[in-house]
Amino acid sequence: MELNRIRFNNRLNADFVKELRLAVDQYFSSRNISPYANTAMVIKTICMISLYVVPYILIMTGNFGAWASLGLAIVMGLGATGIGFSVAHDALHNAYSKYPLVNKLIGVSFNFLGANDYFWKIKHNVRHHTFTNIHEKDEDIDAPVSILRLTPQAQWKRIHRIQPWLALPLYSLLSLSWVFYTDFNKLITYNGNGSPNPEVKHPVREVVRLFAYKLIYIFLTIALPMMVLPFAWWQILIGFVAMHMIMGIILSVVFQLAHIVEETEFPAPNDKGDIENAWMVHQLNTTANFAVRNPVITWFVGGLNFQVEHHLFPNICSIHYYKLSRVVEAKAREFGITYHNHHSLISAIRSHFRTLRHFSRPNDYALTAKAAA
């Protein structure tokens, strides 16, 4: 089924959608504030970039031993994760600034994490945000489907029996996959609209940028350190892999806690490709917040623990999600529409792994009633 055949019934809950949009608009207008980045966001941006760049500079001085350099590489992983969450992600949603050029320039930082901004938009902005938790349409819940079973509609395999133990090791490979596989896979399998297309065509400029930034990234993080640092090649690679494993685990866990927990639904379109729900209600049904009372997590992950607000309003800067969540939750409760919320990180993690255990059994998922047959 092609992506353009998936249709949402936006006639349902039209009053809720209208009033929610109005309430959010009034939130900003009544306070005379912009929905884009504010001073706090700019300060966070500087902090996250520094957390990535400063350890790199310290490593490249050659004044630190192998263990200290490994520790600095791990700090780089934290900084890279923060940039992905708190800087590039907003820019790639055009939510950082009202000026497209600013968003474009800040979004380029994504390429210096080993990923690619153009193909990320196809995978994330188009497929994930539009078709959240829909099997074989939302890639965030389908990959790697051969090893992990993340939806009740996915075919069960014997290896899924041990997926609760495989999950974290596989999650740690996420950003390494971005560097060496995912973006190139998108290059040959999807067109610019995110649909599978045997005659794939992407702008030549974006193809050139893909290879250029990949080469620059590999040169800066692998080749150059091997050229100038007094470490063996395998020590350099250990630091590189350690940095990416930290990134992969944190990035994966944050995204999984937002969609693959016990409360979220996995709707299936009918034979005509119709989802019998308004798109905004679909986002509420398939998305969950977590650790909403933890200011440290909220700051570090760029407000993406408020994924409900992000999925409903991806063009609003994440710095506003904490306060905006009160508006969204109140309006959802008023209309009797579900609003999923794990108050702590631990409760969300437990829910995620309970869900993995449910999916690890053939035809044995306690909450399958939530999924459309």
pLDDT tens, position by position, 40-67 = 999 999 999 999 999 999 999 999 999 9
Cα separation, 62 vs 168, whole angstroms: 32
Q: Span 152-159, mean pLDDT?
A: 90
Does pLDDT of 4 surpass 60?
A: no
Q: Find out whether 110 and 116 touch, Cβ atoms under 8 Å.
A: yes
Question: 222: helix, coil or strand?
Answer: helix
Task: Catalogue the long-range contacts made by 234-243 (C-beta closer than 8 Å, 24 or more residues apart).
Answer: 235/66, 238/70, 239/59, 239/69, 239/70, 239/73, 240/73, 241/176, 242/70, 242/73, 242/74, 242/77, 243/73, 243/74, 243/76, 243/77, 243/80
Q: Measured in Å, how far apart are the chain's first and last C-alpha atoms?
A: 16
Does pLDDT of 271 surpass 50?
A: yes
pLDDT recorded at residue 195: 67
**Angle in degrees, CA 169, 172, 175, rounded to 5:** 150
Q: Find out whether 258 and 304 touch, Cβ atoms under 8 Å.
A: yes
Does pLDDT of 372 surpass 50?
A: no
Please give the residue that has the higher pLDDT: either 127 or 59.
59
pLDDT digits (tens, 9 = 90+) for 310-340: 999 999 999 999 999 999 999 999 999 999 9
Q: pTM of the entire structure?
A: 0.90
pLDDT recorded at residue 66: 95
Cα separation, 220 vs 330, whole angstroms: 48
**Range in 43-57, 141-155, 167-181, 245-259 with the lowest mean pLDDT:** 141-155
Give helix then strand counts, H and E, for the chain.
Answer: 18, 4
Q: How much of the chain exceeds pLDDT 70, in percent? A: 93
- Taking Cα atoms as reference points, which of 106, 117, 96, 130 lies closest to residue 203? 117
pLDDT digits (tens, 9 = 90+) for 69-86: 999 999 999 999 999 988
Give the bridge partners for 340, in sequence order: 288
Cα separation, 332 vs 30, whole angstroms: 21
Nearby residues of 265 by Cβ (< 8 Å), 6 or more positions away: 133, 285, 286, 370, 371
Nearby residues of 252 by Cβ (< 8 Å), 6 or more positions away: 171, 172, 174
If you write DSSP's letter for every residue of 36-63 in order, what string do you get? S--HHHHHHHHHHHHHHHHHHHHHHTT-
The letter for the amino acid at 241 is V
Nearby residues of 58 by Cβ (< 8 Å), 6 or more positions away: 64, 72
Q: How much of the chain exceeds pLDDT 90, in percent? A: 77
pLDDT recorded at residue 25: 97
| 357 token code pair | 């255990």
Q: Find out whether 55 and 271 touch, Cβ atoms under 8 Å.
A: no
> pLDDT band at residue 192, thresholds of 50, 70 and 90?
low
If one counts every other C-beta atom within 10 angstroms of the C-beta of residue 148, the result is 25
- Mean pLDDT of the residues in the chain: 91
> pLDDT band at residue 6, thresholds of 50, 70 and 90?
confident
